[in-house]
Structure 1
Amino acid sequence: MATPPPHRGLRHLALRVTDLKKSRAFYERLFGMKVVWEPDPDNVYFSSGCDNLALHQISQAELADYHQRRSQFLDHVGVIMENPAAVDELYALVVGEAAELEATIVKPPKQHRDGSYSFYVADPDGNVVQVLYEPTISPLEFTRKT
């Protein structure tokens, strides 16, 4: 088997959502995601500067199927924070805005055995986001090549 070429990391995620307006507010307000492209009312693409998140409205014809599901294959996605204090700061924001944004705290902040520190929050569709300080990758900086 040939060696694959190097890549730049897993920096794009696309989620299908049941209510684009609610999901958009969740990612904009809690994670500061900025819209980079909105091709139509059913799709919005965000960036934090080094990654890309796409939200796609599930069509009315498919919504009933999604509401019947009890579980999902995706366990969670992660948002890397600079330090543990930033994790706590975002946790406080989530707690303050959870009801308005239909965000659900899944697990409160916790120190992990590997030195990482995180909490878990679910978006309006139940997609779980781990807000994480991870000592190996949190210090990394990404720069754009010109």
Structure 2
Amino acid sequence: MAKPACKVVGIDHISIRVKDYEKSKAFYGRLFDFLGFEISDEYPSTIGWTNGKTRYWIAPAEGRKSYRIGDVGLHHYAFELRNRKDVDALQAWLEEEGVKIVDPADEYYEDYYAVFFLDPDGIKLEGMKYGELTAKRKRKSLKKKA
């Protein structure tokens, strides 16, 4: 295999288009406040939030066609959380906010705990934690050997 000409070191940001900018701005503002993001920049019809590592932008859509899961394009966006307790806390917050949860907090793959929900346009979002139980087992195993 040839050596790559360049190397991606992370995903800097995602930018989505929304049907009702003010409604989505309010939704994401509350969500990102809960998740520890702050507004990075705001312009008349674009706003971005950051947690210092990831940025998430919204802007109004040019058309009025609604997003549908399964269409060509983004399937979902996942926010990696610190631990499973944070996934549960996010679900409790979503329930309090009346946000549509499409798949509740659960183990979806081995050691992959997540909750899936929809933004106001039906864009699927996820709060997840992968590997927490494996890391705990590894730490216990290392303690026993010491």
| TM-score for the superposition, normalised by structure 1 | 0.78
Unpaired segments ≥5 residues, structure 2: 136-146
Between the two proteins, the alignment pairs up a number of residues equal to: 128
Larger Rg: 1 or 2? Answer: 2
What letter corresponds to residue 3 of structure 1 in structure 2? Answer: P
> Which 4+ stretches in 1 moved above 6 angstroms?
none
- Structure 1 unpaired stretches of 5+: 140-146
SS in 2 for 1:10: coil
Deviations 1:3-51 (A, max 9, x none): 13222212310100011122122222123232111121x2111112211
Query: Structure 2 matches for 1:1-146, cutoff 5 A?
Result: 3-32=4-33, 33-40=37-44, 42-59=45-62, 62-63=63-64, 66-67=65-66, 71-72=70-71, 73-98=73-98, 103-135=99-131
Matching residue's letter, 1:38? E
- SS of 1:112 mapped into structure 2: strand
TM-score (norm 2): 0.78
- State the Cα distance separating 1:77 from its structure 2 match: 0.4
CA distance in structure 1 between the partners assigned to 2:22 and 2:94 by the alignment: 18
Change in Cα spacing, 1:17 to 1:106, as seen in structure 2 (3 Å) is: same
| Percentage of pairs with the same residue | 25
> What is the root-mean-square deviation of aligned Cα atoms in Å?
2.1
